[in-house]
Chain A
């Protein structure tokens, strides 16, 4: 019998791209993924858990899931310690960018920049590289609002099409990094269920190739 593998998927934007990829590999959830948090699949030795992207590294690091799909942004922000991240799935592509109100006046040089973001670690590292000490304002959503109401000078956030930015009169001023979804692997699973894990990684790598 092959080892049972639990794959953690990220809810939301990443899931929309992951399900078609699974389908192209002949794998479909065998249950209502809208309601169930844990779902069997059409593969007898693969089950899915569907959780928030930021929770995926935790589930996988503890071994509650053997494999996981999450954004590179999450891995960069939370360190991705204690995990393997061998595969770029090349889906759910977007960028992590700095944005500000269109045509906003230049700030005086001694001004301490106020940055609204849900990525404080990445943001701090990015501005530290430019020798800039910034004031971090940690938010959990609707970043675009912060500069409009004077809460922050700029924001650091994921940009996909840029439509939300444009609709709110913001412009992207700098791309910090390009982001895609990554496959992460639990360390113990890699050692104790090696054949099964390697098999799945090879199948996913093939699916990535086929889409390229």
Chain B
């Protein structure tokens, strides 16, 4: 028996997987991305450096018999790409990296997901403008199309909206965590109870309740601009960025269905700007995700803007059949 959440792939699926791997990497190569092959195991502290502390619980650990140091098996290749960009490509203004490899996770992040996904992704470092966000979204959509996944819904959000709303609240870390979990569950009833127990001002309460409700088509952005007017400039800037990206994606030939969700905060702790994910009907969870995480390189001595996406190629193959 294999351990829970592990799988082996045999022909013909293994060949289909290999075909898809080549197609994707060829596509990224033509688009100007450099392939990096990162180690399966690293020193735990380096693997978790930066804002990837979320990953600590997800990471399998072992002791190196040679050095006695604690090692971790990679649970996500994005922080590895950030480290490579900072260490080896510091001299370049803009770095575009792609990767593909198996990662290992102690628990599946969502029910039904694998503990050993074959992660594929692209990251763009050094490009602060929305052009990079749009490029990352398009690469994700093209990757799904190459895998034969059709009728994709693109979910867009911006962590700056939520940040702008909560920054004035001066919450304790525990309360902030509680609020974050309620927002992720869109639990209006729990949030109302929590807000009145905490004695938050009525105006702030309304902002938070509005945030939960602000999801749907592009008209959400108009509604948000007026309903969140009191939340200040950073929120309005975030909304303007979202609108620009939505319009750019929509102007492309055969655009995906766009869904805007201002309470969606995947990777909130290290994400800094636009966040996105792809969904298909009748598959209960997201199939690819990404977003902007400008601060991550700072831990490696080099602060520069970054955005990118990743997906599980095993899952793409299953959905593309």
Contact = CB atoms under 8 A, between A and B. Distances in A.
A64 B283 CA distance: 9
Q: Which of A3, A190, A195 lies at the interface centre, i.e. has the most chain B CB atoms within 10 A of its CB?
A: A190
A192 B257 contact: yes
Given A62-B111, A82-B110, A192 B280 contact: yes
Contacts of A192: 153, 257, 259, 279-281
Given A58-B111, A61-B112, A82-B111, A191 B155 contact: yes
B110 A85 contact: no
A42 to B, nearest CB: 24
Contacts of A62: 111-112, 284
B153 A198 contact: no
Interface stretch (B68-76, B78-86, B211-219): B211-219
A61 B155 contact: no
A85 B261 contact: no
B153 A182 contact: no
Contact of A86 (B187, B259, B284, B286): B187
A194 B215 CA distance: 9
Nearest to B185: A85
Contacts of A86: 186-188, 212
B189 A187 contact: no
A17 interface: no
A186 B187 CA distance: 13
B242 to A, nearest CB: 15
Interface string B164-206: 0000000000000000000001111110000000000000000
A142 to B, nearest CB: 30
Given A63-B284, A188-B279, A88 B155 contact: no
B292 to A, nearest CB: 20
Given A83-B185, A87-B189, A188-B279, A194 B284 contact: no
B285 interface: yes
Nearest to A188: B279
A188 B212 contact: no
B87 to A, nearest CB: 35
Contacts of A83: 185
A4 B186 CA distance: 23
Given A87-B188, A186-B284, A194-B259, 5 more contacts: A61-B285, A63-B283, A86-B187, A187-B285, A192-B257
Q: Which 10 A-B pairs have the closest CB atoms?
A: A63-B284, A88-B189, A84-B186, A192-B281, A82-B110, A188-B279, A61-B111, A191-B279, A191-B259, A192-B153
